[in-house]
Amino acid sequence: MKLTIKNIGIIVLITLLVTSVVSNFIQDKKNKDRADQVTLLSGENNILKESMKNAQISAKKKDTTINILIDSITYITKNYNLIRKNYSGLMDQYNSLSEGLLKVSSDSSYRFLQDVYPYPGDLAFMFNEPQVKAIHLDYLKKLKLTELNGNLKSQVDTLNYLLGLNRKAFALKSSQYDDLKLQLTECNKLTSNQSTQIGLQQDQIKNGAKVYLGASYVKTDVGRLF
């Protein structure tokens, strides 16, 4: 068959037509893939935003609790300082017992001991004045040591309570830090996704595809845009 100019033209036209159809098919496939990817990214972004919102709410709640704990720690610390101050006063009293007892007569000490150690029978053992004063002093020291021990127990209990409050505050601070770190990580991921979306949508616009903008699709015309 002899090729004529007309036949050659027909072949070229058919080739161009087929090429155009194939090219359009490939481009449509690419646009669909881009649109699907944009949709997937939009869904992921919504999840990221919700997660960031929840992490922010969680961090604020923990902040409120931490402030309450800090107020409690401040208040309990003041009480602890008062207990310690009281201990110092009790210790001063304990150390001054001997000196204070010098102003008390031996007879007074003897009568005091009879009151604190009442005994209805005969007093078979005799004590001299220094012994009576020493027994009196031992009794007073015992009472004061009981107060001192009670004060020390209060100090230990208060310190243990403060330790518990500080541990709770530290745990909440650590958890709050994790919330903030999560927000930062997901914010970076969200920014990356949005940048990818913009790039995909720009490619769609260049190829005359429908682009999702907010609540509607926009059909672009490459010939008018470029």
Tell me, yes or no, if the pTM score tops 0.75: no
Q: Check whether 113 has a pLDDT greater than 70.
A: yes
Give dist(CA 152, CA 145) in Å, integer: 10
pLDDT at 121: 78
Give dist(CA 137, CA 16) in Å, integer: 121
pLDDT at 198: 84
pLDDT tens-place string over residues 4-26: 766 666 666 777 776 766 666 66
Average pLDDT over residues 61-76: 94
pLDDT at 6: 64
pLDDT at 90: 95
Q: Check whether 219 has a pLDDT greater than 50.
A: no
pLDDT at 142: 95
Residue with tokens 């709770």: 168
Least confidently predicted of 21-30, 59-68, 74-83, 144-153: 21-30
Residue 32's pLDDT band (cuts 50, 70, 90): confident
pLDDT at 36: 79
Contacts of 199 (CB under 8 A, 6+ apart): none
Measured CA to CA in angstroms, residue 218 lies from 96, 147, 193, 215 at distances of 94, 85, 21, 10
Give dist(CA 37, CA 196) in Å, integer: 9
Bigger pLDDT: 51 vs 226:
51
